[in-house]
Amino acid sequence: MENISIPTIIHLPKFLDQRGNLSFIEEYKHIPFKIKRTYWIYDVPGGESRGGHAYRNTDEFIVALSGAFEVILDDGEKKESFLLNRSYYGLYVPKGYWREMVNFSTNSVGLILAPTLYEPDDYIRDYDEFLKLKKKP
Binding site for ligand TYD (CB under 6 A): 37, 39, 50-51, 53, 118
Q: In whole angstroms, how close is the CB of 12 to ligand TYD at the nearest point?
A: 21
Give residues with Cβ within 8 angstroms of 134, minimum separation 6: 75, 76, 77, 96
Coil/strand/helix, residue 121: helix
Q: In whole angstroms, how close is the CB of 21 to ligand TYD at the nearest point?
A: 27
Alpha carbon 98 to chain centroid, angstroms: 11
**Closer of 88 and 116 to ligand TYD (Cβ):** 116
**Closer of 8 and 116 to ligand TYD (Cβ):** 116
**Closer of 37 and 134 to ligand TYD (Cβ):** 37
Q: In whole angstroms, how close is the CB of 50 to ligand TYD at the nearest point?
A: 4
CA 118/CA 112 separation, integer angstroms: 12
DSSP 8-state code for residue 45: P
Q: In whole angstroms, how close is the CB of 19 to ligand TYD at the nearest point?
A: 33
> Which of 82, 63, 88, 94 lies closest to 11 in space, CA to CA?
88
**Closer of 14 and 50 to ligand TYD (Cβ):** 50
